[in-house]
Structure 1
Amino acid sequence: MGTVLVVSAHPSAQSFTNAWAEASVAAARAAGDDVLRSDLGAMGFDPVEAPGVYGLPNGEAFDPLKAQQAASEANELPADVAEEVAKVRAADRIILHFPIWWFAPPAALKGWQDRVFAQGALHSEDARFDRGMCLGKEVLFCVSTGARESECGPDGKEGDLRLQLWPLAYTFRYLGMTVLEPVSVHSVHGYHEGEAKQAVEAQLRSVLDAQTELAARWNSLPRMVFNPEGDFDADGRLKADAPSHSPFVRHA
């Protein structure tokens, strides 16, 4: 038993994204877990980091990291941010539900990271990666695309979905979390008609119905592999004898 934070990033309460998120909530509760919920659309969470939220005048030089650190140290983070930081700290597992828009997660989710993963609150210069403040926590991405599965692979014309998600995954890795391999559902859009629409709707229902079983298999789900800090030299470059696990971190 533990605490699960379910985060969704979609403006529509009737979206498949939010239906899938609620299936995760139900699965966690059925397993006896405590559940925390952040529906960024319903919350109206402001994704824009700005001087005004720290009581600083607009138009003057603004250093987000220093502002976050000062607010964290003084226990004066903006209320909406402080609430989300508390959820992340309390969670053993985090499940993110979101669509891919323009080859990336929605701005709402990126902004949630920008503001909630605050300097001094969830990371610092000395507490990141293998020494991160969130060591022991695990995160899973449940992702939908409008494109077909065949278009989202390494040779697909929509680009490799796994690579598109790598920057998001590395952000959680930066905090010290373990990142599970993403779970994805494809061809999710509102333009299907007739038999095609019926087939997709049946597929989506099966995904929702299977979420409890997916949650039960959590410990056996594959994990993403990242280089440990010992694989890098004093200049932060990958050592010659260290393996590369991603095109984002590779030998020059």
Structure 2
Amino acid sequence: MTNTLVVSAHPEPDSFTAAWARASAEAAAGAGDVATSDLYAMGFDPAERAELYRHEGRFDPLRVQEAAAAAGTLPPELAAEVAKIRAADLLILHFPIWWFGPPAMLKGWFDRALVHGALHAVERRFEDGPCAGKRALMCVSTGCRAEECGPDGREGDLRLLLWPLAHALRYCGFTVLEPVCVHEVHGYHEAPARDAFAARIACVLEQQAAVIDGLASRPVWASNPSSDFDSLGRLLPGAPVLSPFIRHA
């Protein structure tokens, strides 16, 4: 049995992102329990700050999160998200790309819900992180053509845009699977292209069950293990370069 958490970030409940997230949740329900976090519908607060905690004095987010996690005094909305993440074997994130990154709502969920002291710590990160053994899948839409967000595309390489989120998940211990990307999702299609767009989107939703069923064989998004780094955290000579973000100096 696989327990799944589906997190979605789009303000419109009738959006493709929302429908795609529902398709994931329905598909995952056949394999185990499913929890959902529709961040906009929940009214999730993405802005981390001192007044959300029982805290006085200088606000150091990591220390405050760690202390609250240890004392059992996390804000209720964070405690709920941590519990969902801990219970999940599989995390599925649904979101669009806005201004070359995820919506601020999702970034805020990363900032707040991946609580220091609960889902990562100084001595518990990457392969040793609390989420080791869990898998994560990003289901992403863009408004541009696939060609425009390739390595030579003028919108920028989508894999590089997604890398910071993937690495944050790896930091907590998740195994990150190759993302699923759907392009040219926007509200400016005109007939007859509009009908073709609707048919294409319907096909994506219909095929999501097969995507979820096939995750066991989906490739892992390769990253350097901790053994590829020296005691100062620098990539060892001879270690493979798997991303422009981590390369030989």
Q: Which band: TM-score by shorter chain?
A: over 0.9
The CA distance in 1 between the partners of 2:127 and 2:21, in whole Å, is: 29
The CA distance in 1 between the partners of 2:192 and 2:137, in whole Å, is: 32
Give runs of aligned pairs for residues 1-252 of structure 1, distance below 5 A. Answer: 1-29=1-29, 31-56=30-55, 61-252=58-249
How far apart are residue 70 of structure 1 and its match? 0.6
- Structure 1 runs (4+) deviating above 6 angstroms are none
The CA distance in 2 between the partners of 1:215 and 1:56, in whole Å, is: 42
The CA distance in 1 between the partners of 2:99 and 2:172, in whole Å, is: 26
How far apart are residue 56 of structure 1 and its match? 3.2
Length-normalised TM-score, structure 1: 0.97
2:175 alignment partner AA:
T
How far does the alpha carbon of each residue in 1:192-226 deviate from its partner, in whole angstroms, 9 at most, with x for none?
A: 11011111111100000001111111111111111
The CA distance in 1 between the partners of 2:238 and 2:54, in whole Å, is: 49
How far does the alpha carbon of each residue in 1:205-250 deviate from its partner, in whole angstroms, 9 at most, with x for none?
A: 0000001111111111111111111110111100011111000000
The answer to whether the Cα contact below 8 Å between 2:55 and 2:64 also exists between their aligned partners in 1 is no
The CA distance in 1 between the partners of 2:50 and 2:213, in whole Å, is: 43
The CA distance in 2 between the partners of 1:150 and 1:197, in whole Å, is: 20
1:47 alignment partner AA:
P
How far apart are residue 131 of structure 1 and its match? 0.6
2:34 alignment partner AA:
V
Q: RMSD across aligned C-alpha pairs, in angstroms?
A: 0.8
The answer to whether the Cα contact below 8 Å between 2:3 and 2:33 also exists between their aligned partners in 1 is yes
Secondary structure in structure 2 of the residue aligned to 1:142: strand
The answer to whether the Cα contact below 8 Å between 2:177 and 2:221 also exists between their aligned partners in 1 is yes
The CA distance in 1 between the partners of 2:37 and 2:93, in whole Å, is: 10
Secondary structure in structure 1 of the residue aligned to 2:211: helix
How far apart are residue 187 of structure 1 and its match? 0.4
The CA distance in 2 between the partners of 1:173 and 1:43, in whole Å, is: 26
The CA distance in 1 between the partners of 2:242 and 2:186, in whole Å, is: 32
The CA distance in 2 between the partners of 1:180 and 1:205, in whole Å, is: 24
The CA distance in 1 between the partners of 2:129 and 2:204, in whole Å, is: 33
1:38 alignment partner AA:
S
The answer to whether the Cα contact below 8 Å between 2:7 and 2:36 also exists between their aligned partners in 1 is yes
The answer to whether the Cα contact below 8 Å between 2:140 and 2:181 also exists between their aligned partners in 1 is yes
The CA distance in 2 between the partners of 1:2 and 1:161, in whole Å, is: 29
The CA distance in 2 between the partners of 1:155 and 1:226, in whole Å, is: 22
The percent of aligned pairs where both chains have the same amino acid is: 57
The CA distance in 1 between the partners of 2:55 and 2:11, in whole Å, is: 29
Q: Which runs of 5+ in 2 are unaligned?
A: none
2:33 alignment partner AA:
D
The CA distance in 2 between the partners of 1:45 and 1:91, in whole Å, is: 19
Secondary structure in structure 2 of the residue aligned to 1:5: strand
Secondary structure in structure 1 of the residue aligned to 2:192: helix
How far apart are residue 32 of structure 1 and its match? 3.0
